[in-house]
Structure 1
Amino acid sequence: MTLTEADVLVDVTVGAGDGWIGEIPAGARLRVVDLYGNQAVDTLFFDAHDHANRYSAVDTVREQGAVYLTTGSVLLSVDLDPLATIVDDTCGRHDTLGGACAQESNVVRYGEHTRHQHACRTTFVRQAMEWGRGLDKRDLTHNVNFFMNVPLTPEGGLTFEDGVSAAGKHIELRAERDLLVLVSNCPQLNNPCNGYDPTPVRLVGWAR
């Protein structure tokens, strides 16, 4: 991928447990790179001009007839508008059922001693507040977990397992409308979604 300086919209390394928020215009690309492997990247998508028209995992899974996301998957909004399409995926599959970790869910799953550990929900709220353009906690609903391995059990439950990604794997999306993207580079330490060792990821966005 050869880009000129004029092409690049964003090129940032997001540290373990940190976040990023920004707009990606319609037609542009956003690539998420798993720099060290085995890292979960929780991501929210919104119509940049109508934050209430946000990503819907339910509608996306139903319309594509598959529970995992990969090349060709179209991320749909609650109004059934295409938000983004996955155009390249070197990992193979991505979760959109497991949700984002929160301090409350950590306590339920892993015990009271985890109550004050950092979580994706905390990162989402902080980034939304710093953005300061009409996004608040009520807008933080369904998310995609890029690179995260969440197998379904025969009974219909979910398990959090060791990742299927590796260093340098990436996923690339094409914005189908002007997007607001909110990322939490997951800090989870209590299950193997990050290999018990959260690491940085890279976000690269460019115009087409």
Structure 2
Amino acid sequence: MATATTYGARDHARAQDGARAEAMPVVPATDWPAPPCEAGHLVWAETVAGGNYTHRVFARGTELRLTDLHGDACAHVLLFVDGRPWERLSTADTVKVQWNAYLRAGQLLLSDQGRVLATLVADTAGRHDALCGTSTLVRNTERYGDGAPQSASPAGRELLKLAALKNGLEPRDLPPSLSFFQGVEVRDDGALDFTGSAGPGASVTLRAEQDVTVLIANVPHPLDPRPGYTSTALEVLAWRAAPTAPGDPLWEDTAEGRRAFANTIDFLASRGLT
């Protein structure tokens, strides 16, 4: 067996140099073949397999585009202010402050401090969820037979725990996540209907309004009724850009949004970050 010895394992590993697979990071990101931004500005390029996760820290103003390549991705996303993990995405405030449970272009992703973590600047999917969070170990074990991270049916929370640990965060730091590319609607009686995917090629673009840590688990939505664990590849691209400024329609759209942006800028100014 070629890898039965240390030398054999080394030679086998070195033989993989330059090999590519569909689901892997591209390093450096600027080697990505068709960047959606000005040349040299791409800072993150990765394809995340179904049942896997990724994470990154990036600067205020960075834009992040997620694309459902084959129609069965579901990106469960958490955001934390870099260096201040106690300020993190609040799905409750994101919904409550903006009077809207349905994510769409123009909405703000808010922390429980009343500040903007990111803006949803573009959306071709229209199938998202801010209500259900991600799957759990117990639930996946009941549905698929296992939910451990190394299993064939890993739970979203278990993968987010791993991503969190790699950024100095603990399981207790993980709030409910947002889900992109698999939708949910609320019926008049309060029940939730799973609306599924918009199909291959749908994308969303987020713009960071503070320095943020992003955690992403690409796993089936917890309300997905299909008996099999169905999850396909997610494309992740991020590039340097500029944060939202006064006068931008995203800033001026609502009174609640203007207040959230004002809270954000006031806080950043006090720390010398604007």
Taking structure 2 as the reference length, what is the TM-score of the superposition? Answer: 0.68
Of 65, 68, 74, the residue aligned with 1:40 is: 74
Deviation, 1:160, is 3.0
Q: Structure 2 regions of 5+ residues with no counterpart?
A: 1-35, 242-274
Aligned to 1:96: 130
Kindly provide the CA deviation profile for residues 20-41 of structure 1, in whole angstroms up to 9, marking residues without a partner as x.
1111210110000110113211
Deviation, 1:168, is 1.1
Q: Which moved more, 1:168-177 or 1:184-193?
A: 184-193
1:26-175 to structure 2, matched below 5 A, reads 26-106=60-140, 110=143, 113-114=145-146, 117-129=153-165, 131=166, 133-163=167-197, 165-175=198-208
Change (3 A) 1:120 1:2: same
Deviation, 1:156, is 1.3
Q: Which moved more, 1:187-196 or 1:39-48?
A: 187-196
1:180 aligns with 2:216: no
- Greater Cα radius of gyration, structure 1 or 2: 2
Change (3 A) 1:192 1:52: same
Deviation, 1:196, is 5.0
1:201 aligns with 2:237: no
2-structure distance, mates of 1:194, 1:85: 34
How many pairs does the alignment contain? 202
Q: Which moved more, 1:19-28 or 1:180-189?
A: 180-189
Instruction: Give the share of equivalent positions with the same residue, in percent.
Output: 32
Deviation, 1:190, is 7.9
What is the SS of the residue equivalent to 1:154?
coil
Q: Quick check: 1:161–1:192 contact (8 Å CA) kept in 2?
A: no
Query: 1:119 corresponds to which letter in structure 2?
Result: A
Deviation, 1:94, is 1.6
Q: Quick check: 2:74–2:179 contact (8 Å CA) kept in 1?
A: yes
Query: 2:126 corresponds to which letter in structure 1?
Result: G
User: Could you say which structure has the greater relative contact order, defined with CA pairs below 8 angstroms and 6 or more residues apart?
Assistant: 1
2-structure distance, mates of 1:76, 1:141: 13
1-structure distance, mates of 2:168, 2:98: 31
Kindly provide the CA deviation profile for residues 56-76 of structure 1, in whole angstroms up to 9, marking residues without a partner as x.
011110111111111001000
Query: 2:38 corresponds to which letter in structure 1?
Result: L
What is the SS of the residue equivalent to 2:163?
helix
Higher helix share: 2
2-structure distance, mates of 1:37, 1:195: 15
